[in-house]
A and B are shown apart, each in its own frame.
Chain A
Amino acid sequence: NAGVTQTPKFQVLKTGQSMTLQCAQDMNHNSMYWYRQDPGMGLRLIYYSASEGTTDKGEVPNGYNVSRLNKREFSLRLESAAPSQTSVYFCASSDQHTLTYNEQFFGPGTRLTVL
């Protein structure tokens, strides 16, 4: 099991460029999440998907869109990147229905710099 994988690991964009961050999990989890991590801010939820076919906004959704492509994959798109979106982005997944094993599993992160 690879767990949660993210691509790319690093990315540098210019202001106004677009890109998509990819995330995939092989644990058959229903729920997937996108967070950003900024120094001193902890983790902030951008979007989440409770199940295939559904997505919902989190705490900081502005400037982002998401797609739950299938049960395994959940992508995050920046349509027009801004310097304020420089951050480390983490994807996570969890199984909603198994109360015993209900923690989130995290990917290794994507470090994005917007110039």
Chain B
Amino acid sequence: GDSVTQMEGPVTLSEEAFLTINCTYTATGYPSLFWYVQYPGEGLQLLLKATKADDKGSNKGFEATYRKETTSFHLEKGSVQVSDSAVYFCALRDNYGQNFVFGPGTRLSVLP
């Protein structure tokens, strides 16, 4: 079945550091890929998405590129802020059906 693997946290960075959170997937066909962010005490919010190979999703300084050859969708940000502290979830949607599959989440803490 479909699956999403992402790096286990927690990840602790200093403000203005470079962020990478790795995400790889296993799926049949051509899934859509997503990064969601969950701030403390809140629901999940879509951060960015990509619906086909080589697409780059971007939002709020975060970027991720859909790499079909490596089945990856790594999240990057050049300079993190304290306000980026949250849990980040990589997810896919199987375009053949209803399945959304989420990774386990990576907790990011950014220190001033």
Chain A residues proximal to chain B, CB less than 8 Å: 4, 31, 33, 40-43, 45, 48, 50, 56, 90, 92, 94, 96, 99-100, 102-109
Contacts and interface: CB of A to CB of B under 8 A. Distances in A.
Contacts of B104: 40-42
A31 B44 contact: no
A44 to B, nearest CB: 9
B89 A43 contact: yes
A107 B89 CA distance: 16
Nearest to A44: B102
Contacts of B44: 43, 90, 92, 104, 106
> 5 tightest CB-CB pairs across the interface, nearest first?
A106-B43, A42-B104, A106-B44, A43-B102, A108-B43
B100 A33 contact: yes
B42 A108 contact: yes
A105 B44 CA distance: 8
Interface string B50-67: 010000000000000000
A99 B102 contact: no
A39 B45 CA distance: 18
Interface string B16-58: 0000000000000000101010000011111001010000000
Contact of B102 (A42, A100, A102, A103): A42
B98 interface: yes
A109 B102 contact: no
A106 B36 CA distance: 10
A42 B49 contact: no
A103 B47 CA distance: 10
15 contacts: A31-B98, A40-B104, A42-B104, A45-B100, A48-B98, A92-B44, A100-B51, A102-B32, A102-B51, A103-B32, A103-B46, A104-B46, A104-B100, A106-B44, A107-B43
